[in-house]
Structure 1
Amino acid sequence: MTGRDHRDLGGPTEKCGVVGVSLDERAAARPLYYALYALQHRGQESAGIVTHDGFQQHSHVEMGLVGDAFGEDDLDQLNGPVGIGHVRYPTAGSVNACCAQPFSVSFKSGSLGLSHNGNLVNADEIRDELAGLGHAFTSDGDTEVIAHDLARNLLEEDLVRAVKRTMSRIHGSYSLTIMHDDTVLGVRDPEGNRPLCIGEVDDGYLLASESAAIDVLDGELVRDVEPGELVILRPDGEGFDAYQLFDRENSAHCFFEHVYFARPDSTIDDQLVYDVRRDLGRALWAESGVDTDVVMPVPDSGRAFASGYADAAGEDGADVEFAEGLMKNRYVGRTFIMPTQDARERAVRLKLNPIKDIVQDRTVTLIDDSIVRGTTSTQLVQLMRDVGAEAVHVRIGAPPIVAPCYMGIDMASREELIAADRTTEEIGEEISADSLEYLSIESVAGALDQSRADLCLGCVTGEYPYDIDGETTDRDVERPTIGSEPAAADD
Structure 2
Amino acid sequence: MSGLPQGLREKCGVVGVSLADRQAARPLYYALYALQHRGQESAGIVTHDGFQQHDHVELGLVGDAFTEADLDGLAGRVGIGHVRYPTEGGLDSSCAQPFSVSFKSGSLGLSHNGNLVNADEIREELAGLGHAFTSDGDTEVIAHDLARNLLEADLVRAVKRTMNRIHGSYSLTITHDDTVLGVRDPEGNRPLCIGKLDDGYILASESAAIDVLDGELIRDVNPGELVVLQEDGEGFDSYQLFTPENTAHCFFEHVYFARPDSAIDGKLVYDVRRDLGRKLWEESGIETDVVMPVPDSGRAFASGYAEAAQEEGADVEFAEGLMKNRYVGRTFIMPTQDARERAVRLKLNPIRDVVEGKTVTVIDDSIVRGTTSTQLVQLLRDVGAEAVHMRIGAPPIIAPCYMGIDMATREELIAADQTTEEICEEIAADSLAYLSIDAIAETLDESESDLCLGCVTGEYPYDIEGEETDRDVERPVIGDPAPADD
Q: Same fold (TM over 0.5)?
A: yes
* TM-score, normalising length: structure 2: 0.97
What letter is aligned with 2:229? Answer: L
Q: How many residues align?
A: 478
Asked if 2 retains the 8 angstrom alpha-carbon contact of 1:11 and 1:371, the reply is no
Q: 2:198 matched to which residue of 1?
A: 202
Q: Is residue 41 of structure 2 the alignment partner of residue 32 of structure 1?
A: no
Report the Cα distance in structure 2 between the residues aligned to 1:31 and 1:368, rounded to whole angstroms.
34
Corresponding residue number in structure 2 for 1:139? 135
Counterpart check, 1:222 vs 2:218: yes
Q: Is structure 2 residue 248 aligned with structure 1 residue 252?
A: yes
Equivalent position to 1:410, from 401, 406, 412: 406
Counterpart-to-counterpart distance in 1, 2:221 and 2:135:
29
Residue 11 of structure 1 and its aligned partner are, at CA, apart by 4.6
Counterpart residue type for residue 133 of structure 2: F
Specify the SS of the correspondent of 2:4: helix
Which residue is equivalent to 2:433?
A: 437
Shift of 1:336: 3.1
Conserved? CA contact 1:168–1:480, under 8 Å: no
Pair 1:313-2:309 in alignment: yes
1:280 aligns to what? 276
**One-letter amino acid of the structure 2 residue matched with residue 349 of structure 1:** R
Name the Cα RMSD after superposition: 1.2
Map 1:84-103 to 2 at 5 A. Answer: 84-103=80-99
Determine which of 328, 332, 336 is the counterpart of 2:328.
332
Q: Using the TM superposition, give the Cα deviation of residue 334 of structure 1 relative to its aligned residue in structure 2, in angstroms.
A: 4.3
- Aligned counterpart, 1:487: none
CA distances 1:264-316 after superposition (whole Å, capped 9, x unpaired) = 00000000000000000000000000000000000001000000000000000
Unaligned residue ranges in structure 1 (runs of 5+): 482-491
> Of residues 222, 225, 232 in structure 1, which corresponds to 2:228?
232
Distance 2:10 2:186 in 1: 21
Asked if 2 retains the 8 angstrom alpha-carbon contact of 1:169 and 1:480, the reply is: no
Number of the residue aligned with 1:57: 53
Q: Is the 8 A contact 1:464 1:474 kept in 2?
A: yes
TM, length-normalised to structure 1: 0.96
Alpha-carbon distance in 2 for matches of 1:189, 1:382: 43
DSSP 3-state at the match of 1:20:
strand
Aligned to 2:416: 420
Answer yes or no: is the 8 Å Cα contact 1:94–1:141 preserved in 2.
Answer: yes
Please, which of 458, 461, 464 is the counterpart of residue 462 of structure 1? 458
2:461/2:476 contact within 8 Å kept: no
The answer to whether the aligner puts 1:348 opposite 2:344 as a matched pair is yes
Give 1:335 deviation, angstroms: 5.0
The answer as to whether partners of 2:18 and 2:202 remain within 8 angstroms in 1 is yes
Report the secondary structure of 1:398's partner residue: coil
- Residue aligned with 1:393, SS: strand
Give the whole-Å Cα distance in 2 for the aligned partners of 1:275 and 1:22.
31
What corresponds to 2:364 in structure 1? 368
Whole-angstrom distance in 1 between the partners of 2:298 and 2:79:
35
Q: Which residue does the alignment assign to 2:484?
A: none
Measure how far apart 1:355 and its partner are: 0.5
Unaligned segments of structure 2, at least 5 residues: 478-486
Amino acid at match of 2:309: A
Summarize deviations over 1:122-148 as a string: whole Å, max 9, x none.
Answer: 000000000000000000000000000
The answer to whether the 8 Å contact 2:192/2:206 transfers is yes
CA contact (8 A) 1:198 1:225 kept: yes
For 1:66, the equivalent position in structure 2 comes to 62
How big is the shift at 1:337? Answer: 2.9
> What is the aligned partner in structure 2 of residue 268 from structure 1?
264
Query: Which amino acid in 2 is paired with 1:478?
Result: E
1:14 corresponds in structure 2 to: 10
* Cα distance change, pair 284–480 in 1 and its aligned pair in 2 (3 A): closer
